[in-house]
């Protein structure tokens, strides 16, 4: 039997109900650590959201590198979903082994930050990783305000290796890797739009800091077109081989093209659906989760200069 929250989440996963919300009616009953705050599930998350929002806010009103690392913590959710360990359970932080893997290069700062926030707010690591990714995305100008659920159980067993995508993998391998985790090619394209905010440091170390579209730290659809070689491509932009093969593959090419042209709100909703699915991989107690969307910062719906090359975050 599903609980009301279980039914809500099922409807979101079936895309029958939006994965975004502007609900923000919430006043914390007390400050962090007070008994009244401890009694209210969303209270500690309210205080956490305030601190994270400030930490993710970058120069010129954009989101900064810590925010981008938070968005990228998607990677640990992929591994071993469906087994008795794995998924969105906080492992990337809780096990020393996972963060040392090459696929997780660049995530060290956010992992250190997670330890500090987990202690400060008294929250579980699996929830914290998902929650801070949602705060990070909504801190980026134009980013969606995705619904957040808390109550995951943490596990500290490392996932098997080889379950994460590599930047040099073929389209076949990437598509089947994500399909295995119930992420369709369509959802994968939506998720990869996150490279709109990203910078690379380890793929080509000589070009450390090179962005994947012209507007690092802004949540726009611009990264789809540069990958296709369409539109203006500032020389600073570094295209990932994995994005290039998926932009061309017959299973993903149409969606890639239309994501660049369908507009921001269409992509934001697709991203929110796909990310919600990702954030619940391997979570076996969905009926017991609680929704705390109301504590998130409100989205920034406009950004002047979204199409210009903006660096320096
Ligand atoms: C086919 C799957 C994917 C591959 C092969 C891939 C690969 C990469 C690589 C190589 C980097 C640069 C790391 C570095 O050199 O510093 C990166 C950065 C990033 N990726 Fe992906 N990625 C994939 C999927 C995703 C997804 C699903 C998301 C979000 C939901 C995402 C979000 C990000 C973000 C935000 C960054 C920037 C981190 C920063 O600026 O510090 N990626 N990705």
Question: 215-225 pLDDT, tens per residue?
Answer: 778 887 766 77
Going by CA atoms, what residue is nearest to atom 31 of ligand 1?
72
| Ligand 1 environment, Cβ below 6 A | 65, 68-69, 71-72, 74, 105-106, 165-167, 174, 191-192, 194-195, 197-203, 240, 242
pLDDT (0 to 100) of residue 265? 85
19 Cα: distance to centroid of ligand 1 (angstroms): 22
Whether residue 206 has pLDDT greater than 90: yes
* For range 133-142, the mean pLDDT: 94
Q: Is the pLDDT of residue 154 over 70?
A: yes
Minimum mean pLDDT range among 79-83, 89-93, 217-221, 275-279: 79-83
Is domain 4-295 in CATH 1.10.520.10, yes or no?
yes
pLDDT by residue (tens digit) across 69-78? 888 876 655 5
The domain spans of the chain are 4-295
Query: Of all atoms in ligand 1, which is nearest to the CA of residue 275?
Result: 30
pLDDT over 50 (residue 243): yes
Does the pLDDT value for residue 95 go beyond 70? no
* Ligand 1 centroid distance, CA of 163 (Å): 15
Residue whose Cα lies nearest atom 8 of ligand 1: it is 167
> Quick check: 150 pLDDT over 80?
yes
Residues written for the chain: 313
Q: Considering only 144-148, 150-154, 308-312, which range has the smallest mean pLDDT?
A: 308-312
Atom of ligand 1 nearest to the CA of 216: 40
Distance 71 CA to ligand 1 centre (A): 9
Name which residue sits closest to atom 41 of ligand 1, judged by CA.
Answer: 69
What average pLDDT does the segment 49-64 reach? Answer: 89
Distance 27 CA to ligand 1 centre (A): 35
Q: What is the 3-state secondary structure (H, E, C) of the chain?
A: CCCHHHHHHHHHHCCCCCCECCCCCCCCCCCCCCHHHHHCHHHHHHHHHHHHHHHHECHHHCECHHHHHHHHCCHHHHCCCCCCCCCCCCHHHHCHHHHCCHHHCCCHHHHHHHHHHHHHHCCCHHHHHHHHHHHHHHHCCCCCCECCEECCCCCCCCCCCCCCCCCCCCHHHHHHHHHCCCCCHHHHHHHHHHHHCCEECCCCHHHCCEECCCECCCCCCCCHHHHHCCCCCCCCCCCCHHHHHHHHCCCCHHHHHHHHHCCHHHHHHHHHHHHHHHHCCCCCCHHHCEECHHHCCCCCCCCCCCCCCECCC
How far apart are the CA of 214 and the centre of ligand 1, in A?
A: 16
| Mean pLDDT of the region 276-294 | 93
- According to the model, what pLDDT value does residue 226 have? 65
Higher pLDDT pick, 162 / 50: 50
Binding residues for Ca(2+): 89, 196, 213, 215
């Amino acid at each position: 039997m599903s609980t009301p929250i279980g039914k809500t989440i099922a409807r979101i996963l079936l895309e029958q109900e939006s994965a975004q919300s502007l609900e923000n009616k919430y006043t914390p009953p007390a400050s962090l650590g007070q008994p009244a705050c401890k009694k209210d599930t969303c209270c500690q998350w309210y205080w956490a959201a305030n601190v994270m929002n400030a930490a993710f806010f970058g120069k010129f009103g954009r989101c900064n590198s810590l925010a981008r690392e938070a968005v990228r913590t998607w990677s640990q959710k992929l591994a071993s979903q469906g087994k008795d360990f794995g998924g969105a359970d906080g492992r990337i932080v809780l096990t020393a082994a996972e963060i040392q893997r090459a696929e997780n290069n660049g995530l060290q700062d956010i992992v250190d930050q997670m330890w500090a926030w987990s202690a400060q707010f008294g929250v579980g690591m699996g929830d914290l990783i998902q929650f801070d990714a949602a705060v990070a995305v909504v801190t980026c100008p134009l980013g969606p305000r995705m619904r957040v659920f808390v109550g995951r159980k943490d596990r500290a067993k490392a996932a098997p290796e080889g379950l994460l995508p590599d930047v040099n993998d073929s389209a076949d391998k990437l598509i089947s890797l994500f399909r295995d985790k119930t992420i369709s090619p369509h959802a994968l394209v939506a998720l990869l739009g996150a490279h709109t905010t990203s910078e690379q440091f380890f793929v080509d170390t000589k070009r450390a800091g090179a962005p994947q579209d012209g507007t690092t730290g802004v949540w726009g659809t611009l990264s789809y077109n540069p990958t296709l070689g369409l539109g203006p491509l500032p020389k600073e932009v570094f295209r990932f081989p994995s994005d290039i093969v998926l932009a061309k593959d017959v299973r993903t090419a149409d969606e890639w093209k239309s994501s660049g042209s369908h507009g921001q709100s269409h992509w934001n909703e697709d991203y929110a659906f796909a990310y919600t699915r990702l954030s619940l991989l391997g979570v076996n107690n969905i009926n017991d989760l609680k929704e705390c969307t109301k504590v998130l910062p409100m989205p920034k719906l406009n950004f002047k200069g979204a199409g210009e090359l903006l660096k320096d975050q």
